[in-house]
Amino acid sequence: MSRKIAGPEIERLVQLLSRLPGLGPRSARKAVLSLLKRRNDLLLPLSDALQQAVEKISECPVCGNLDTVSPCSVCSDPRRDQSLIVVVEEVGDLWALERANIVSARYHVLGGHLSPLDGIGPEQLNVANLLARAAASEVKEILLALNATVEGQSTAHYISDQLAATDVTVSRLAQGVPIGGELDYLDDGTLAAAFKARRKL
Ligand SMILES: [Zn+2]
């Protein structure tokens, strides 16, 4: 039996934090120690921020984004292109596209990708809402900005099949050589995709 070295409150903190992606028990323990040592400038503000998050942040009923207003500030921004909906797997993907500031459209967050082995079918994802949104007259294009993984691409195929009978244009992100990428360092799949998607200069 391992000896107890800390009270249940500390153990609980370690356990909860180690459930976060990228944090194993060892790094969770380190994080907890830092929090406890820095009570005033870290622990208390973090506890307050978490409480605020619990009270104020919710999922947008339209697109699945997370925000303090509902519908979210992206959905309710009238300056955005209403004809384009960019479909992403997770809120983090939406944030990445917003940070890059390349598109001023509305989004739709699926909440993951299809994964039949894990019991994740279309009903577990935010797909029905997307099909309903695609039927609105102002929507002309659905851009499937899903991950370039097997699951991401099979999810994209499924959605484009579902939209085949509608008038909207379904598009996806280009795949190929990254900016600044050297051919010698690319994996075979990326190189093959770039070759297939070649364009006339
Ligand atoms: Zn929204």
Whole-number Å distance, alpha carbon 115 to ligand 1 midpoint, is 25
Whole-number Å distance, alpha carbon 120 to ligand 1 midpoint, is 23
All residues with CB under 5 Å from ion ligand 1:
60, 62-63, 65, 71-72, 75
Whole-number Å distance, alpha carbon 150 to ligand 1 midpoint, is 27
- Are residues 96 and 24 part of one domain? no
pLDDT per residue of the chain (201 residues) written in tens, 0 to 9 = 567 667 889 999 999 999 999 998 899 999 999 999 999 999 999 999 999 999 999 999 999 999 999 999 999 999 999 999 999 999 999 999 999 998 899 999 999 999 999 999 999 999 999 999 999 999 999 999 999 999 999 999 999 999 999 999 999 998 888 888 889 988 898 888 889 888 898
Q: What is the CATH number of the domain that holds 12?
A: 1.10.8.420
- Are residues 163 and 119 part of one domain? yes
Dig out the tokens for 195 from the structure. Answer: 């070759």
How many domains in the chain? 2
pTM of the full structure: 0.84
Q: How crowded is residue 19: how many other Cβ atoms within 10 Å of its Cβ?
A: 8
15 falls within a domain: yes
Whole-number Å distance, alpha carbon 93 to ligand 1 midpoint, is 14
Q: How far is CA 32 from CA 6, 44, 99, in A?
A: 12, 13, 30
